[in-house]
Amino acid sequence: MITKLISKIRKTNAPIVVGLDPMMKYVPEYIKKAAFAEYGETLEGAAEAIWQFNKGIVDAIYDLVPAVKPQIAMYEQFGIPGIMAFKKTIDYCHEKDLVVIGDVKRGDIGSTSEAYAVGHLGKVQVGSKAYYGFDEDFVTVNPYLGSDGVNPFLKVCKEEKKGIFVLVKTSNPSSGELQDRLVKAKKEEKSSKGIAESIAADSMDRPLYEIVGEQVAAWGTACMPEEGDYSYVGAVVGATYPEQGRILRKIMPKTFILVPGYGAQGGKGADLVHFFNEDGLGAIINSSRGIVAAYQQEIYSHFGEKGYADASRAAVLAMREDISSALKCEKNF
Amino acid sequence: MITKLISKIRKTNAPIVVGLDPMMKYVPEYIKKAAFAEYGETLEGAAEAIWQFNKGIVDAIYDLVPAVKPQIAMYEQFGIPGIMAFKKTIDYCHEKDLVVIGDVKRGDIGSTSEAYAVGHLGKVQVGSKAYYGFDEDFVTVNPYLGSDGVNPFLKVCKEEKKGIFVLVKTSNPSSGELQDRLVKAKKEEKSSKGIAESIAADSMDRPLYEIVGEQVAAWGTACMPEEGDYSYVGAVVGATYPEQGRILRKIMPKTFILVPGYGAQGGKGADLVHFFNEDGLGAIINSSRGIVAAYQQEIYSHFGEKGYADASRAAVLAMREDISSALKCEKNF
């Protein structure tokens, strides 16, 4: 699936993933009105509204971008009808040949991660039959529980030729509280000969996200597709932390980086260049609000509510241009 | 809800939560057969089987324990029908007046954590109406993203009088890969006067789980219920790490600790004593496999498949006795 993702990025010339995070405040009134008229102001009504909203956007952008990233929380909040809209969205995006990254940030002890991996990427056994539960192409994974929590995903990825993106340095303001903490080099990594060396070893102390990045790179080494330079174990590194992105790019040369935080969260095109490798690949930039709620921004307001999907298309084109200029500019210097 | 949990622990004299993790291999053949006869070997059939399995166990144990903890992954793996069985299980446990801890380990950037918090603990707004999505009483939360990812849960907990358990030191073998890494004291915590002090400051370096534990204690200070000594911000600390449990108990004196890893994962009664405070409270021990699949163990095999629920009841009674003896023993020394 990483091979398909890269081939689609090349074809569209857009290392962009559209975050399908349909908060109710983004959904145009006319869509909500129609959904509530049919289902009432119920969870089913909300689910119908977000599904129709998504469908409009997907129809408007599927030829421009390689991938979408539905954030499951935005669906889960509407209970079971919400989850049904999540699944419907995945299936529809597959019909449109989009790569689907399920932003689920799961991660647990081994047997439990296995259930998540099976449910989101693989097939679950029921008696003599096997079924896909949600059938995303990639999912995001939280690394806090260590390898036990990640290995079951790798196993299913290998079987299904799918992939994951492991959280390394997230885009939110408080991501540093744990992820930036300086971690002491392990004893075996340190000289134990004396105080001088012990002080020198201080220079080996690194932020936790680097440790996680190294681990992701190591997992990736064992998870290379049959062809291509990138592993199917990716990483999440926020656009809001370009300096860390530059370092992590070097630590994880064969890792595809999913970069959230562009646009509404503050990341700009120029911040993105260091997330890419010299082959012009290695990163895919996510924008959610900035695209799905583009019509609510001043510069796209002329599209109006009814033109929300066209506004999303215009926002994708502008984002493609922004990234492309930034990458070109970088090459010239 | 922490007040209700404590009151029920006192009443049942059982600081026990039953993990409702219905893997298909635990479900007796006769239940699967009946479910597949009705729905076929489908996701619906699997969901019916795990629901019937759960119902039998809940009916057999609801008077003995204060709480249950369904692990959502075990349901999510069966797609939407699985999630429906999760919700059905929650609702049924509420009918039986059990406290429900949703083991969902969610955690994300602020706006996304808000959606999870609303969906699992709170009410989501749909037009002029508001609905509970899943309506657990507590959920487990992953802290890797920092305060941004936790605060939205605290807000909803305050409004709904519910609670969370934050992962601090998990029970799995690889939990130490990140959680045990020694973290350097922050500069402001260190003397910056010279080499000697800098070396001395090494003694302030602590494992990451202690840093998380301190943070949990700090969140808890602002989240005390109207009465009682325990905050509604709890922690998850594995029974498999009793020494770390002893330290964390001291770091987080007002934090209720959810302790997984008892039984099948290797934790024993004697390992548990340091998770409790001197008031005999402060911890609730989870057992999943050890209870729900008790009939598959040698010592309960005489119950047979059809007696699986009675076997679960017997296993709860044995676990209550094991913990109670361990606590009594500890008091005598």
Sequential DSSP letters for B270-290: HHHGGGS-TTS-SEEEEESHH
Residue B195 touches partner A, C-beta closer than 8 Å: yes
Shortest Cα distance from A329 to chain B (angstroms)?
A: 31
- Residue B278 CB contacts under 8 Å (≥ 6 apart), including other chains: none
Cβ contact B128–A41 (<8 Å): yes
Shortest Cα distance from A332 to chain B (angstroms)?
A: 35
Please give the ipTM for the structure prediction: 0.94
pLDDT value of residue A192: 46
Dist CA A195 CA A198 (whole Å): 5
Q: pLDDT, tens digit, for every residue of A210-254?
A: 999 999 999 999 999 988 899 999 999 999 999 999 999 999 999
Find tokens 């109207």 and name the residue.
B226
Dist CA A210 CA A181 (whole Å): 10
State mean pLDDT over A151-157: 98
Res A155 pLDDT > 80: yes
Segment 212-251 of chain A within 8 Å of chain B by CB: 212, 215
Neighbours of A119 (CB within 10 A): 30
Q: pLDDT, tens digit, for every residue of A8-49?
A: 999 999 999 999 999 999 999 999 999 999 999 999 999 999
Residue A24 touches partner B, C-beta closer than 8 Å: yes
Residue B13 touches partner A, C-beta closer than 8 Å: no
Tokens representing A72 are 């499951």
Residue A143: strand, helix, or coil:
coil
- Picking from B276, B273, B310, B280, the residue whose alpha carbon sits closest to that of residue B295 is B310
Cβ contact A126–B170 (<8 Å): no
Residue B172 touches partner A, C-beta closer than 8 Å: yes
Cβ contact B175–A108 (<8 Å): no
Dist CA B1 CA B157 (whole Å): 9
- Residue B303 CB contacts under 8 Å (≥ 6 apart), including other chains: B294, B295, B310, B311, B314
Least-confidence region, from A46-50, A179-183, A266-270: A266-270
Cβ contact B133–A105 (<8 Å): no
CATH fold for domain B2-172+215-332: TIM Barrel (3.20.20)
Res A191 pLDDT > 50: no
Residue A21 touches partner B, C-beta closer than 8 Å: yes
pLDDT value of residue B191: 45
Best residue in A31, A38, A109 to probe B by mutation, most B CBs within 10 Å? Answer: A109
Cβ contact B208–A178 (<8 Å): yes
Nearest to A133 among B71, B78, B260 (CB): B78
Cβ contact A43–B198 (<8 Å): no
Whether residue A255 contacts residue A231, with contact meaning beta carbons closer than 8 Å, is answered with yes
Q: pLDDT, tens digit, for every residue of A133-146?
A: 999 999 999 999 99
Averaged pLDDT score across all residues of chain A: 93
Neighbours of B181 (CB within 10 A): 18
For chain B, what are the domain ranges? 2-172+215-332
Confidence bin at B204 (pLDDT 50/70/90)? confident
Best residue in B32, B71, B76, B165 to probe A by mutation, most A CBs within 10 Å? Answer: B76
Least-confidence region, from B80-84, B134-138, B239-243: B239-243
Cβ contact B119–A73 (<8 Å): yes
CATH fold for domain A2-332: TIM Barrel (3.20.20)
- Catalytic residue of the set B4, B88, B96, B105: B105
Q: pLDDT, tens digit, for every residue of A73-130?
A: 999 999 999 999 999 999 999 999 999 999 999 999 999 999 999 999 999 999 999 9
Dist CA B181 CA B209 (whole Å): 8
Dist CA B125 CA A46 (whole Å): 9
State mean pLDDT over B260-281: 85
Residue B197 touches partner A, C-beta closer than 8 Å: no
Dist CA B249 CA B236 (whole Å): 11
Nearest to B142 among A71, A107, A110 (CB): A107
What is B233-245 written as a DSSP string? EEEEE-TT-HHHH
Nearest CA in chain A to B237: A145
Nearest to B77 among A79, A105, A124 (CB): A124
- Catalytic residue of the set A55, A87, A96, A105: A105
B105 is catalytic: yes
pLDDT value of residue B192: 46
Chain A residues closer than 8 Å to B20 by CB: none
Cβ contact A211–B132 (<8 Å): no
State mean pLDDT over B292-321: 97
State mean pLDDT over B81-96: 98
pLDDT value of residue B240: 93
Residues paired with B327 in a beta bridge: none
Dist CA B186 CA B183 (whole Å): 9
Best residue in A25, A41, A50, A108 to probe B by mutation, most B CBs within 10 Å? Answer: A108
